[in-house]
Each structure stands twice: as structure tokens, then as C-alpha cells.
Amino acid sequence: MSSRWLPGWACALFLAAGGVPAVAIAADKPDCPRPMSLALHEHGLLYSGVTGEGIDKDIADELSRRSGCKFIVSVLPRARIWQLIEGGALDFSLSGITNPAREQFAAFAWYVSNKYYLLVRQDANVAALADFERNPQLKLGVIRSFRYSPTANRLVDALDAQGRVSHASSLEPLYQVLLDNRVQAMIIEPFDYPTVQQGTIRAQTRIVEFDDPAVPHGLIMSKKSVSPAQQQAWRALIDEMRADGSMRRIFEKYFSAELARTMTQF
């Protein structure tokens, strides 16, 4: 789904921090003595089970083509993906971010960086993050096991301790509980833009920014099933895709050229 029709304000809103392209590292191609398992999760432009398309699907296809490895692809909730990665029952997933807990069992190969935003109901009368946090009547909807940028994580953790967080297994149910006023806000990122722009949601919500830098996302590799040498080989493959422009071209299928550039060059 193309969003080249994005209005200027939306491109500015979701602009990630730019930078220089990664330089590909000379390395052997990944060695795949067996089919490798890779899980997608349904989330906005990353993957749609309805269309069978999305950024993560395109990246997985390109990784398979370049490596010569066969992927056994499944579609799972994000929380289940992290559990399987930790146990070594799943080799890969995509568009993951790190934190100290995940560093213990997962390795990463970065290819995109983007910011997070608070999508809040207009009738919640929230002009700043502090307004939301100090009103005990307001609840936040999040996807189970998702982490975000530092300020967003702090907000989630503070509200969760107060019993003000509602968890869902995927993105779509959150939009419905937001429209039903069972939660008054949710955290979004550029991959969610097409749904956010739908008339009903856009008319009832506004954006509040987190003053955080863009957060790197990347290929997730299980440390139990993918050796350090193979992790480096997959990183080199990702770096090659960034350096030769193929990663940017994948993102240009879904975002404006400028936004795709800034998201993939950091």
C-alpha cells in the first residue's frame, strides 16, 4: 500500500532521524544447513494477513533470495515471538527493538529507525504527556510485550503500576477500544499511519509527541539457535541491503521517498 499521497504535515510528523548509509561488511553468506524459521507479526504496514504483504514480508523475501536460505514463515503474536526467540525455537523475526532483557537472548541487525507518538482522543483534553499521566481517569492501550522509546516506556511502566494500561495481542483491537473510549490513548509509529489516517480515527484523535530520538529496529536473531558467526553473516547481509539501496527501495513502496530515506539512513 503506497502512501506517497501523504500530506506534508504527516511526513514531518513521522520523520525519523537521518544519517549516513551503512557500509556493507565483507563476510561469508549465511550458512543454512536446514530451513530457518522466521515469524512475522501483523502490524500496520509491516505485515497484513489480509493481503499477505508488508515491509517485513518484503525484507524476508529479499534475505532469502540473497542468502539462498529457505525460511519457514509463520505469523504469530509479538509476545509469542519473543518467547520462542528466547527459547531457541524460532530463529528470526523482523522490525524488533532491543532492551537489556532482550540483549540476553537476542541479537539484532539494524535497518530502520523511527519515532513513536501518542495517539490520544480529542475529548481527553490532553495537550501534553503530563496531562495524560496526571489524570487517573485516562487509560492507555498497548500491545502485549511491545517496548518503545525511553519516554514512552516510562509512561507505559508508570501507568501500568497504577492499573491504567490495557493490553492487546495486536494492533487492530487497540483501535477499536480507542474508538469505544475504553482507552483514551495508544502509542503509534509510522507503520500505523494508514489506519490512523482513516476518517473516523483521525477525526477523534490528535498526536502528542515524545521528545525522544528515533529508535533502531532490525532483524531479530535467537542467540540459542543462530551462532555468533552466523549472526555476523546476517548483519553483513542487512548492511549490504542498506548500502546498495535495496532496503530504502522496499520502504519506498510504503512511504514517501524522503521518509523512506530518513528511516533507512541513520
| pLDDT value at residue 197 | 86
pTM, rounded to two decimals: 0.87
| pLDDT computed for residue 27 by the predictor | 54
Cβ neighbours for 175, distance < 8 A, ≥ 6 positions apart: 186, 195, 201
Tens of pLDDT along the chain (266 residues) come to 333 333 333 444 444 334 434 344 445 789 999 999 999 999 999 999 999 999 999 999 999 999 999 999 999 999 999 999 999 999 999 999 999 999 999 999 999 999 999 999 999 999 999 999 999 999 999 999 999 999 999 999 999 999 999 999 889 899 999 999 999 999 999 999 888 988 899 999 999 999 999 999 999 999 999 999 999 999 999 999 999 999 999 999 999 999 999 999 99
Alpha helices by DSSP H, listed for 114-196, are 129-134, 150-161, 171-179, 193-196
Which one-letter amino acid corresponds to residue 15? L
For residues 254 and 10, what is the distance between their CA atoms, to the nearest angstrom?
14
